[in-house]
C-alpha cells in the first residue's frame, strides 16, 4: 500500500499546547483519526486568534479547507499533553498549505503530521479570492 508523505516545511508560524480529551479516544483506546482533524482546526483557529482574526474574517476575507491529509507516527492517549507546530508551504495567489506536526509535549515523540490546503474565500461573493496582504506579511 502506498503511504502518504507529509514533509515538514521550513517556515514555522505558530505553536500551541493541547491535551488529549476523553472524547478524542476511539474504540481502540487511543487518539482517533477524526480527533486529529479537530486538533488541527483548534491549532489553526488559535493561530488566527493570535493575530486578531477569525477564519472568516481576515480583512473581510475568510478561508475554506479544500483538502486534508493525515499521517500517523505513534499513539497518544487520554490525557496526554501535546505540542502542535504549524507550518506553511506552497503559498500561491489564493491558497496555501498548512502543515501540522503533533508531538508529545514531554519527550517530543511525534504522534502525527497533517496537512490542510487552505483557500482564501470571499463569502459575500461566494468565490475564492487573493490572500490578504496582512496575512502574507505575517508569513514573511
d(CA 89, CA 87): 7
- DSSP-assigned beta bridge partners for residue 114: 70, 100
With a pLDDT cut of 70, the percent of the chain lying above it is 100
With a pLDDT cut of 90, the percent of the chain lying above it is 96
Prediction pTM value = 0.95
> Above 80 in pLDDT, residue 124?
yes
Higher pLDDT, 1 or 92: 92
* Range with the poorest average pLDDT among 1-5, 46-50, 109-113, 120-124: 1-5
Q: What is the pLDDT of residue 3?
A: 87
d(CA 86, CA 78): 22
Q: Name the grid cell of 24.
A: 478524542
**Mean pLDDT for the stretch of residues 74-86:** 97
> Above 90 in pLDDT, residue 123?
yes
Q: Which domains does the chain have, with CATH numbers?
A: 12-139 (3.10.129.10)
**Mean pLDDT for the stretch of residues 38-50:** 98
Per-state percent for the chain, helix, strand, coil, to nearest 5:
20, 45, 35
24 secondary structure, DSSP code:
G
Amino acid at each position: 500500500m502506498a503511504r502518504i508523505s507529509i514533509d515538514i516545511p521550513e517556515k514555522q508560524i505558530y505553536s500551541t499546547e493541547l491535551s488529549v480529551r476523553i472524547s478524542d479516544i476511539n474504540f481502540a483506546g487511543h487518539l482517533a483519526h477524526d480527533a486529529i482533524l479537530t486538533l488541527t482546526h483548534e491549532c489553526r483557529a488559535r493561530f488566527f486568534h493570535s493575530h486578531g482574526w477569525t477564519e472568516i474574517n481576515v480583512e473581510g476575507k475568510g478561508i475554506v479547507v479544500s483538502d486534508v491529509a493525515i499521517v500517523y507516527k505513534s499513539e497518544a492517549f487520554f490525557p496526554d499533553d501535546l505540542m502542535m507546530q504549524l507550518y506553511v508551504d506552497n503559498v500561491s495567489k489564493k491558497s496555501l498549505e498548512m502543515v501540522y506536526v503533533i508531538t508529545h509535549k514531554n519527550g517530543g515523540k511525534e504522534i502525527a503530521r497533517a496537512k490542510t490546503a487552505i483557500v482564501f474565500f470571499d463569502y459575500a461573493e461566494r468565490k475564492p479570492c487573493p490572500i490578504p496582504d496582512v496575512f502574507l506579511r505575517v508569513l514573511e
